[in-house]
Amino acid sequence: MLQVNFLRDNKERVLEGLQKRQFKNLGLVDDAIATDEERKRIQFELDSQLSEINKISKEIGLLMKEGKKEEAELSKSKTAQFKESSKELQSQLDVTEKALLDILYQIPNIPFEKVKSGSSAEDNENIFQSHDVEGLGEGAIPHWELAKKYNLIDFELGVKIAGAGFPVYLGKGARLQRALVQYFLDKNVEKGYMEVNPPHVVNEASGYGTGQLPDKEGQMYYIGEDDLYLIPTAEVPVTNLYRDVLLEEKDLPIKNTAFSQCYRREAGSYGAHVRGLNRLHQFEKVEIVRLEKPENSYAALEEMVEHIKEILTDLELPFRVLRLCGGDTGFAAAMTYDFEVWSAAQEMWLEVSSVSNFETFQANRLKCRFKTEGKSQLVHTLNGSAMALPRIMAALLENNQTAEGIRIPKKIAEYARFDLIN
Q: What is the rounded CA–CA span in Å between residue 300 and residue 214? A: 28
Residue 320: inside a domain: yes
Pairing of strands 348-359, 335-343: antiparallel
Convert the pLDDT of each residue in 152-210 to its tens digit: 999 999 999 999 999 999 999 999 999 999 999 999 999 999 999 999 999 999 999 99
Please answer whether residues 152 and 276 qualify as being in contact, where contact means their C-beta atoms are separated by less than 8 angstroms. no
Please answer whether residues 170 and 231 qualify as being in contact, where contact means their C-beta atoms are separated by less than 8 angstroms. no
Helix (H) or strand (E) holding 160: helix 155-161
- pLDDT value, residue 270: 53
- pLDDT value, residue 62: 80
Domain boundary among 45, 73, 104: 104
> 354 labelled as ligand-binding?
yes
Is the pLDDT reported for residue 268 higher than 80? Answer: no
> 351 labelled as ligand-binding?
yes
Q: CB neighbours (10 Å) of residue 179?
A: 20
Residue 271: band (very low, low, confident or very high) from pLDDT cuts 50, 70, 90:
low
Residue 394: inside a domain: yes
Helix (H) or strand (E) holding 157: helix 155-161
- pLDDT value, residue 57: 81
Residue 114: inside a domain: no
Residue 273: band (very low, low, confident or very high) from pLDDT cuts 50, 70, 90:
low
> 109 labelled as ligand-binding?
no
Together in a domain, 142 and 217: yes
Q: Tell me which of 213-227, 265-279, 363-377 is least confident.
A: 265-279
Q: Number of folded domains in the chain?
A: 2
- pLDDT value, residue 103: 97
Together in a domain, 86 and 131: no
The residues, ordered by sequence, that sit 6+ positions from 226 with a Cβ below 8 Å of its Cβ are: 201
Together in a domain, 260 and 362: yes
Convert the pLDDT of each residue in 100-144 to its tens digit: 999 999 999 999 999 999 999 999 999 999 999 887 777 899 999
- pLDDT value, residue 68: 78
> 383 labelled as ligand-binding?
yes
Return the CATH number at 48.
1.10.287.40
Is the pLDDT reported for residue 76 higher than 80? Answer: no
Together in a domain, 49 and 147: no
Convert the pLDDT of each residue in 395-422 to its tens digit: 999 999 999 999 999 999 999 999 999 9
State mean pLDDT over 275-296: 97
Return the CATH number at 296.
3.30.930.10
State mean pLDDT over 66-90: 82
Together in a domain, 288 and 399: yes
Is the pLDDT reported for residue 376 higher than 90? Answer: yes
Residue 252: inside a domain: yes
CA dihedral 358, 379, 384, 244 (to 10 degrees): -100
Q: What is the rounded CA–CA span in Å between residue 179 and residue 304? A: 22
CA dihedral 177, 178, 181, 184 (to 10 degrees): -100
Q: What is the rounded CA–CA span in Å between residue 323 and residue 346? A: 23
Together in a domain, 295 and 382: yes
Residue 256: band (very low, low, confident or very high) from pLDDT cuts 50, 70, 90:
very high
> 287 labelled as ligand-binding?
yes
Task: Please state the pTM of the whole predicted model.
Answer: 0.91
Residue 352: inside a domain: yes
Is the pLDDT reported for residue 272 higher than 80? Answer: no
- pLDDT value, residue 1: 95
Together in a domain, 311 and 374: yes
Mean pLDDT score across all residues of the chain = 94
Together in a domain, 171 and 220: yes
Together in a domain, 86 and 174: no
Together in a domain, 231 and 276: yes
Q: What is the rounded CA–CA span in Å between residue 110 and residue 120? A: 17
Residue 285: band (very low, low, confident or very high) from pLDDT cuts 50, 70, 90:
very high
State mean pLDDT over 343-371: 96
> 233 labelled as ligand-binding?
yes
Instruction: Give how far Cα 221 sits from Cα of 224, 230, 282, 286, Å.
Output: 9, 5, 11, 20
Is the pLDDT reported for residue 261 higher than 60? Answer: yes
**Phi-psi bin for 252: left (phi > 0), alpha (psi -120 to 50), beta?**
beta
Residue 79: band (very low, low, confident or very high) from pLDDT cuts 50, 70, 90:
confident
Residue 112: inside a domain: no
State mean pLDDT over 5-12: 97
- Quickly list DSSP for 60-109: HHHHHHTT-HHHHHHHHHHHHHHHHHHHHHHHHHHHHHHHHHHHHTTSPP
Residue 250 structural domain: 121-421
Give residue 101's identity as a one-letter amino acid code: L
- pLDDT value, residue 353: 97
Residue 32: inside a domain: yes
Provide, rounded to the nearest whole percent, the portion of the chain with pLDDT above 90. 85
Together in a domain, 75 and 188: no
Provide, rounded to the nearest whole percent, the portion of the chain with pLDDT above 70. 98
Q: What is the rounded CA–CA span in Å between residue 328 and residue 126? A: 14
Q: What is the rounded CA–CA span in Å between residue 370 and residue 378? A: 6
